[in-house]
């Protein structure tokens, strides 16, 4: 990594306090709904996975994202987004928002600034927004994209999710499984 890029990354690690402040304010204002969950650790192929059990989600209506957006009562929560959940703009193409329905504190969403369909392949701009986000947080995070109905996607507006990684993990368990597959070295990126 070039020294100038390294300096930019070091200087940009400044939004942790902003995320914590906005989270506390959103909870106090009732803009964000934190739901308690039970945590279980599951070991699979030598990797520890954290599984969260959230009984209230069993009552969540099942809907397919593409069908949902065509119903008469559909409201896109990201256009316009709730200002109380906004953390920062990511370039011109994305926003960083707090997840209104979180089961983990400081659960973030990277949303497209204009409507894009959830399930579309990730674009270069999506990856730039992800890198800007993880490089501006000092803690380790897991970023994922529910890109289809089978993955649990329920919101038709394109968004990625950012979760703080549990402190007991050195890396997301999926990384350990992937690295065991011996990927080409030039396919591996870390933000550290």
The residues annotated as belonging to the active site are 159
CA–CA dist 59, 25 (Å, integer): 27
CA–CA dist 75, 69 (Å, integer): 8
Q: Which two tokens stand for residue 119?
A: 């399930």
H or E segment to which residue 135 belongs: helix 124-135
3-state percent helix, strand, coil for the chain, nearest multiple of 5: 30, 25, 45
Determine contact, residues 91/133, Cβ cutoff 8 Å.
Answer: no
């Amino acid at each position: 990594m070039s020294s100038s890029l390294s300096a930019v990354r070091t200087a940009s690690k400044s939004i942790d306090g902003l995320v914590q402040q906005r989270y506390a304010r959103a909870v106090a204002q009732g803009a964000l709904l934190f739901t308690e969950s039970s945590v279980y650790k599951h070991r699979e192929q030598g990797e520890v996975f954290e599984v969260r059990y959230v009984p209230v989600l069993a009552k969540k209506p099942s809907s397919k994202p593409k069908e949902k957006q065509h119903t008469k009562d559909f409201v896109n929560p990201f256009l316009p987004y709730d200002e109380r959940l906004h953390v920062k703009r990511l370039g011109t193409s994305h926003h960083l928002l707090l997840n209104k329905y979180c089961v983990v504190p400081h659960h973030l969403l990277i949303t497209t600034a204009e409507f894009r369909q959830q399930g579309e392949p990730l674009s270069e701009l999506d990856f730039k927004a992800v890198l800007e986000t993880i490089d501006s947080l000092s803690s380790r995070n897991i970023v994922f994209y529910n890109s289809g109905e089978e993955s649990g996607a329920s919101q038709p507006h394109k968004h990625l999710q950012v979760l703080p990684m549990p402190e007991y993990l050195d890396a997301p368990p999926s990384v350990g499984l992937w690295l065991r597959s011996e990927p080409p070295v030039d396919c591996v990126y870390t933000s550290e």
